[in-house]
Structure 1
Amino acid sequence: MTELDCQICYSLFIDPITTPCGHSFCKPCITRSLDHNSACPICRQPLHNYNAYLHHPINKTIYSFIRALYPSLYSERRYLLESELFNTMQDTPIFVTNALVFPKMPCFLHVFEPKYRLMIRRCMQSRQRQFGMVLACSNTYQDFGTMLEIRSAEFLADGRSLVETIGTYKFKVIEKGSKDGYDVGRVERVDDISPEEEERIEREELRRAEIYNTSNPLNNPIREYTTSELIGISRDFIETLRNGNSPWLLQRLNSVYGDMPDDPSDFSYWVASVIPIAEGEKYKLLELRSVRERLKLIVEWISSLRDQWWFARGCSIS
């Protein structure tokens, strides 16, 4: 039966395809091999068009032989392969990077590393078509991240892919692991507190500030902004940049992030996405479950940016 065995996995062919050099492999096996080397695993002849093998028709002659001679073995092999894919997707695939993305924000990825090429293909085969994106730190990655949903993926001839995604929700990694070279994790979704809780917190903070200022008239007063005022400060800052000498911002808004959203939660992530703050600082927003707390942190960033030399000289960044 060796003639019907794949020379990569050494098992009965599943979805056999035959290369131009005349060698046959399981379709999943040859695509994974080409992630690492664009040559035939047997004769080393170049196999340049990676994309062709993703959509390559199966060898119907070999397939017919297998189904006729080994129907039970083929069914068992197919079941094991599908079970492996299902079990793989029980853990969330994790894309570790040096950039952040927030819920409701778009993210465009250029995928070229072999481990992530495999990860994206598996995500495309799953019903959810999603994976987690986290910020790298030291030899591991941060605990909080954003779930990304794949909107479209273009696979290039050399195996790279251009993937368009959108952030859906925040999560916290509660258990870390790995699968075939890429990170996976068990995650729990992190949602914001309710609007009613936000309003209660705002009222308490404003009341405490008022009591302090009344009780200590000789000290510097505490300024506690309402949530609406925090949004207004952030909007004014963006308009200052938009109307100043900041072509980088206009390009970012027009080509990626679009207009300001009205929803306060979406607005906080939108502002954080477009202003020039280090990714490590922006990461703090993922840990916060309060829109108000995120806006307060953003206003702190804005205050710091206004004090920097580039803002005072016309909002230009080299």
Structure 2
Amino acid sequence: MSRELAHVRQELDCQVCLSLLFDPVTLPCGHSFCRVCVLRASDHVHGCPLCRAPFYYDALGCASSTVLRSTIVSLFPAEYAARRQELEEEGAILPLDEVDRPGDGPIVFSLPLFPLNCVVFPGEKFQLFIFEPRYVLMLKHVMRSSRCLGLVNSTCVRDTNAVGVLLRIENVAPVGPHRFLVNTVGALRFRVRSFHECESYLVGMLETLRDTPEQCETEPTLSQGRGNPGAEATAREESERLHLGEQHESGTATVSCPVQTPEQASPCAELSSAAVARQLLDYLRTNQRNSYVTAAERAVDSQAYDEASFLMSHLLVRDVPSRQLLLEMTSTRSRLQALAQMVWGKPQRASGTASMQGRSSSMRGRLHQMRSTCTTQ
């Protein structure tokens, strides 16, 4: 290491832990510290840990210094990786790289649980308003460590097999004394194995939940015939099978209704995930255009049909019980088929609230049946 680089390295030490800065934040006084160190110090010192200069916002709202962090990573990658491993072993941060990495089996980890009467899908942005003292304390704990929390439907929060979603915290905005708006995004699903209370809030022992691999779920690749007119024509013919049947009006767009009714076998039962996903994507393009539709397009183009199915579920399903059933499904194909049945199912003749309730109840019944079939298989 050159003399100049050694001098730079000395300036990149956190003055609280005396180690290399990790996820650095810069306070208004100009001093930089590890995020974990600032949050730990904020429990005892209401200001800069070094010069005691006050700053007039909560430490939870400190934004990461992205330029400083990228500089540290580029100059000292090995030491930064060792620092990450050290904090993971201490339990100060969650090993998200390991959690996100697909493996042979589920990965078990511990995380605070936030019960709420709603369901969030992976890839969906969600805003929390936290004001209860116990959850403010929980927020401080997760912000000084993993910056993640587990969202579980409040109706099943104490079930040992409850399925929820891990929320990554993007930023925290104080809106008053001990009141915070927390912007998050759904990252991955988990199943609760056990839980216990820690300082008045729940902490769960969780395991990752992924869709089971299925055969014949991808479109032809370059090596399998993509670019081959015959193969592409076959895929188009398979996709167009969804459009067989009578036409009816749904909202502002005309969609196709399959020949079979919801009480009969699924009209998409013989179609691949690729075909159903593209038909649902065409329907969404016709009815709305937003960032979720764009993200679903990218997921379908990259053949990430599980990711696309969750984005489409967010756009198409609103009632909480149906969303919970879709979240619990472990088959991408079944999830896409359930969405297709909802979109192209036989239209209800009744009108008003009773019609909507009947359609929602019918949807939940079909989801229960499809989930049971998927489980037995």
State the TM bucket, normalised to the shorter chain. 0.5 to 0.7
Q: Deviations over 1:3-43 (max 9, x none)?
A: xxxxxxxxxxxxxxxxxxxxxxx953799xxxxxxxxxxxx
Q: Deviations over 1:83-114 (max 9, x none)?
A: xx959987310011112111122222222222
Q: CA deviation at 1:123?
A: 0.6
Structure 1 match to 2:315: 274
For the 8 Å contact 1:50–1:156, the answer to whether it is kept is: no
Taking the aligned partners of 1:221 and 1:289, their CA distance within structure 2 comes to 20
Taking the aligned partners of 2:167 and 2:121, their CA distance within structure 1 comes to 9
For the 8 Å contact 1:132–1:145, the answer to whether it is kept is: yes
For the 8 Å contact 1:50–1:158, the answer to whether it is kept is: no
Deviates most, 139-148 or 98-107: 139-148
Structure 2 match to 1:3: none
| AA at the equivalent of 2:280 | S
Say which of 177, 189, 194 aligns to 1:175: 194
Say which of 236, 241, 245 aligns to 2:287: 241
For the 8 Å contact 2:170–2:184, the answer to whether it is kept is: yes
Taking the aligned partners of 1:257 and 1:237, their CA distance within structure 2 comes to 10
For the 8 Å contact 2:165–2:190, the answer to whether it is kept is: yes
Q: Deviations over 1:116-158 (max 9, x none)?
A: 11111111100x2111111111784670001111121122332
Q: CA deviation at 1:174?
A: 0.8
Q: Which runs of 5+ in 2 are unaligned?
A: 1-40, 47-54, 62-86, 95-108, 219-237, 239-263, 353-377
Q: Normalising by structure 2, report the TM-score.
A: 0.48
- Match status 1:150 vs 2:150: no
Structure 2 CA distance for partners of 1:259 and 1:305, relative to 1, 3 Å: farther
| AA at the equivalent of 1:117 | V
Deviates most, 162-171 or 301-310: 301-310
For the 8 Å contact 1:230–1:295, the answer to whether it is kept is: yes
Taking the aligned partners of 2:167 and 2:217, their CA distance within structure 1 comes to 26
Structure 2 CA distance for partners of 1:305 and 1:149, relative to 1, 3 Å: farther
| AA at the equivalent of 2:147 | R
Instruction: Say which SS state the counterpart of residue 96 (structure 1) adopts.
Output: strand
| AA at the equivalent of 2:137 | L
Structure 2 CA distance for partners of 1:301 and 1:277, relative to 1, 3 Å: farther
Listed as ranges, the matches of 1:107-256 within 5 Å are: 107-126=126-145, 128-137=146-155, 140=158, 143-196=162-215, 198=217, 223=267, 224-227=269-272, 228-242=274-288, 253-254=290-291
Q: Which runs of 5+ in 1 are unaligned?
A: 1-25, 32-48, 56-81, 200-205, 207-219, 243-249, 311-318
For the 8 Å contact 1:133–1:147, the answer to whether it is kept is: yes
Taking the aligned partners of 2:135 and 2:93, their CA distance within structure 1 comes to 14
Structure 2 match to 1:260: 296
Deviates most, 265-274 or 156-165: 156-165
| AA at the equivalent of 1:93 | P
| AA at the equivalent of 2:207 | E
The number of equivalent residue pairs is 213
Structure 2 CA distance for partners of 1:306 and 1:122, relative to 1, 3 Å: farther
For the 8 Å contact 2:266–2:341, the answer to whether it is kept is: no
The sequence identity of aligned pairs, in percent, is 22
Taking the aligned partners of 1:105 and 1:54, their CA distance within structure 2 comes to 22
Structure 1 match to 2:32: none
Taking the aligned partners of 1:133 and 1:259, their CA distance within structure 2 comes to 22
Structure 2 CA distance for partners of 1:151 and 1:297, relative to 1, 3 Å: same
For the 8 Å contact 2:115–2:157, the answer to whether it is kept is: no
Q: Normalising by structure 1, report the TM-score.
A: 0.56
Taking the aligned partners of 1:163 and 1:193, their CA distance within structure 2 comes to 32
